Chains A and B, each alone.
Chain A
Amino acid sequence: MEQHSIYLDNNATTPMHEDVIQAVHEANLLYGNASSMHSFGRDAAAAIEGSRAAIASLIDCDPSSVIFTSGASESNNTVFNIFREQIDLGSKRNRIVTTTIEHPSINELVKYLRNHGYKVDECPVDKEGLIDLEVLKGYLADDVALVSVMTGNNEIGTIEPIAEITKMAHEVGAYMHTDATQAIGKIPVTMKTWGVDYLSLSGHKFYGPKGIGVLAIAPKVPLAPFVHGGHQEGGMRAGTYNTASIVGIGVAAEIAQKELEEESKKLWDLREKLRKGIEERIPNIVVNGSQEHCLPGTLDVSFPHAEGESILLYLDLEGIMVSTGSACASGSLEPSYVLLASGVDIEMAHGSIRFSFGRYNTEEDVDYVLEKLPPIIKRLREMSTR
């Protein structure tokens, strides 16, 4: 029997592009410390600066804005900590506004900051996971230091109106951060046109290496060193440069920029083929999120009367890899907070599956899923209490 491996969990992480693997492999030989003055050091530094320029071009900012980090979680934490310091130093702007559907690296940080007495508001989203600008307006005033809203959601794929939100944040004198991790390589991301002050991204979500990301910081905004102990990255983040990974994320950025349009269309077509196929073949399902404002490769579906972890594991036994918002898969009793915050019923959240497409998926992959998924749902529903 032919063994299938169909990877539909690209929002969790992506495989490295073959050009990235090659570049990382070659850059591993550039062992000079990029901070050294000698030629080996300069070679490494030149490779890093090349990558910085590629990132800047991808997200439309100055190369000097790009700071390399270990990934978007670090970048997100850093932005909040910059403002935490401002507040600690007595800033009259002492409130942070974010949303209920941010990535855990913000969502958990919000809980932590609140427990430590900081004022953080989470603006709710509508049933599509979309921020209502009128609702957001109610959270904004001249005591707000920072507004942080993700560009596209990792679970349901909803794309937020970042340019409009940035405008509103600036109108009350607040700074704007967006976690663009899921949007990179899927939709155009532009720091300058949107006007955002801080932007986070992660290499491994767009075919780059794991453990490398970026915090892009616009000129003349609050800044504080987040790792002390060296002059790297303008003294903001100490630590010997991770040359190979930085080179890797740069190559990934070049590819993402070059192939954006084509890639975006391909992902949307695959997503739509799967959505229509599921709707035709499986009764009683609900597609979560927004159909209109959705990252092209993301499809989140709830299957009532079939539990998410069971669906995931039956699919895995057929070689299909997905993720679920079910509580069982998270090790807690609560299902996905993103789905609940988007008004998805708790039972529906337990039965949710996220299919996320990437550049290596094909129409045949979708056909295979459409062959294997319906009997799994049917079987689980027959087994389920009624």
Chain B
Amino acid sequence: MTNFMSQWVYTPVVKDHFMNPRNIWQEGENFEADGVGEVGSLACGDQMQVLIKVEDDKIADLRWLTYGCASAIASTSMMSEMAIGMTLKDAYNISPDMITNALGGLPEHKFHCSVLGDKALRAAIDDYLEKAGRENPFKGHIAKVICECKLVTDVQIEDLVKSKQATTLEQLQELTEYGTVCGKCEDQIKELFEEYKHIYNV
């Protein structure tokens, strides 16, 4: 007889984190956060809040809330396990790839929209440093150059989208001059731009 049994939609690790999410901020739980970060929106179907406690420049504890699909829930849960105990610097460097790998992989179309935990965590660290009146020493380090001719980084694009200075690709090009020399980066920038627009609900 032919075997028609299917696998679950996502990996067993995703399933485990979806069914038993770690470090959720429970209703009524008193969690005095040192920093709070929020990304996404209800309209785009994914929204995330991350709350952190910081001791000796380490993530002492973390709670999160997520409105989103199974992979959004699982990836935030995984991020929370990874981040607790990390130095702020290491936590700031958690990438979507690291979370996805720890989950045993995610379908391609889920990768961009649902892995927002790292961004919410960075937003929480930004918030913590700002409240503490400290310089943000991490921002520059995580930037990746996307347009090599004009040295435009992903962080730059993210900031311009987040602050609504660039709401169209034309504005982004005016502000950064990306793609005006060899043009090789255009597809990648377009993709990033759409992703940030989605994340920051622009």
Q: Which residue of A lies closest to B43 (CB)?
A: A346
**Chain A CB within 8 A of B67 CB:** yes
Within 8 A of A (CB), among B18-72: 18-19, 21, 24, 26-27, 38, 42-49, 65-72
B46 CB contacts on chain A under 8 angstroms: 307, 328
Q: How far is the CB of A15 from chain B (nearest CB, A)?
A: 14
A382-B26 in contact given A310-B73, A313-B9, A347-B42 (Cβ < 8 Å): yes
CB-contact partner of B65 in A306, A307, A329, A386, under 8 A: A386
Contact B18 A385 (CB under 8 A): no
Q: Is A71 an interface residue (CB 8 A)?
A: no
* Chain A residue at minimal CB-CB distance from B112: A333
> Is the pair B45, A305 in contact by a Cβ cutoff of 8 Å?
no
Task: With A350-B42, A383-B21 as known contacts, state yes or no: A333 contacts B198, CB within 8 Å.
Answer: yes
- A251-309 contacts to B (CB < 8 Å): 305-309
A307 and B26: CB pair below 8 A? Answer: no
Q: How far is the CB of A182 from chain B (nearest CB, A)?
A: 26
Secondary structure of the B contact surface, majority rule = mixed
CB distance from B130 to the nearest CB of A (A): 21
Partner of A384, one of B66, B69, B114: B66
The SS class assigned to the A binding surface is helix
Q: Does residue B83 face the partner (Cβ distance < 8 Å to A)?
A: no
Confirm or deny: B141 has a beta carbon within 8 angstroms of a beta carbon on chain A: no
* B123 interfacial contact with A, CB 8 Å: no
CB distance from B47 to the nearest CB of A (A): 5
Question: Chain A nearest CB: distance from B76 CB in Å?
Answer: 9
Q: Complex formed: what's the CA distance from A332 to B44 in Å?
A: 11
Chain B CB within 8 A of A117 CB: no
Known A313-B18, A328-B69, A346-B43; judge A385-B113 contact (CB<8 A).
Answer: no
Q: With A307-B67, A307-B68 in contact, is A383–B73 under 8 Å at CB?
A: yes
Chain A residue with Cβ nearest B27? A382
Give CA–CA (A382, B68) in the complex, Å.
Answer: 12
Cα distance A313–B14 in the bound complex, in angstroms:
12
Q: Are A313 and B48 in contact (CB under 8 A)?
A: no
Instruction: Specify the chain A residue showing the minimal Cβ separation from B70.
Output: A313
Distance between Cα atoms of A317 and B68 in the complex (Å): 17
- On whether the beta carbons of A333 and B113 are closer than 8 Å, the reply is yes
In the complex, what residue of chain A is closest to B48 when comparing beta carbons?
A: A385
- B114 contacts A328, C-beta separation under 8 Å: yes
Does B134 sit at the interface, judged by CB under 8 A? no
A310 — which chain B residues lie within 8 A by C-beta?
18, 68-70, 73
Interface: B131 (CB within 8 A)? no
What residues on A are CB-neighbors of B110 within 8 Å?
328
Q: Which of B85-142 contact A (CB under 8 A)?
A: 109-110, 113-114
A331 at the interface (CB under 8 A from B): yes
CA distance A347 to B71 in the complex (A): 18
For the complex, is A358 an interface residue (Cβ under 8 Å from B)? Answer: no
Q: How many A residues are at the interface, by size bracket? A: 20 to 34
Would you call B45 and A328 a contact (CB within 8 A)?
yes
A308's nearest neighbour on chain B, judged by CB, is B69
Contact A309 B69 (CB under 8 A): yes
Within 8 A of A (CB), among B139-194: none
Contact status of A385 and B49, CB under 8 A, knowing A310-B68, A328-B113: yes
A335 in the interface (beta carbon within 8 A): yes
Q: Within 8 Å CB of B42, what residues of A?
A: 305, 347, 350, 385
| B120–chain A nearest beta-carbon distance, Å | 10
Q: Given A309-B70, A333-B45, check contact A385 B198 (CB 8 Å).
A: no
Q: Which residues of B contact A306 (CB under 8 A)?
A: 67
Interchain CB contact under 8 A, A307 and B19: no
Q: Is B109 touching A327 in the complex (CB atoms < 8 A)?
A: no
What residue in chain B is nearest A330 (Cβ atoms)? B109
Could you tell me if B45 and A327 are in contact, using CB atoms closer than 8 angstroms?
yes
Binary contact track B68-84/A, C-beta < 8 Å → 1, others 0: 11111100000000000
Contact status of A328 and B68, CB under 8 A, knowing A317-B19, A346-B43, A350-B45: yes
CA distance in complex: A335, B113 (Å): 13
Q: Which residues of B contact A332 (CB under 8 A)?
A: 109
Complex Cα–Cα for A328 and B46 (A): 9
By the criterion CB–CB under 8 Å, are B198 and A383 in contact? no
CA separation between A308 and B38, bound complex, in Å? Answer: 21
Measured between beta carbons, the chain B residues less than 8 angstroms from A73 are none
B43 touches A347 (CB 8 A): yes
Chosen A-B contacts, 26 in total, with CB atoms closer than 8 Å, are A305-B42, A306-B67, A307-B45, A307-B68, A307-B69, A309-B70, A310-B69, A310-B73, A327-B45, A327-B113, A328-B71, A329-B69, A332-B109, A333-B45, A347-B42, A350-B45, A382-B26, A382-B27, A383-B65, A384-B47, A384-B67, A385-B38, A385-B42, A385-B66, A385-B67, A386-B65
Binding site for A on B (CB under 8 A): 9, 18-19, 21, 24, 26-27, 38, 42-49, 65-73, 109-110, 113-114, 198
Nearest first, the 10 closest Cβ-Cβ pairs linking A and B are: A328-B69, A309-B69, A384-B67, A350-B45, A347-B42, A331-B109, A385-B47, A385-B65, A346-B43, A313-B70
Add 10 more A-B contacts to A310-B18, A385-B38 (CB < 8 A): A308-B69, A310-B69, A328-B69, A328-B113, A333-B45, A333-B113, A382-B24, A383-B67, A384-B67, A385-B47
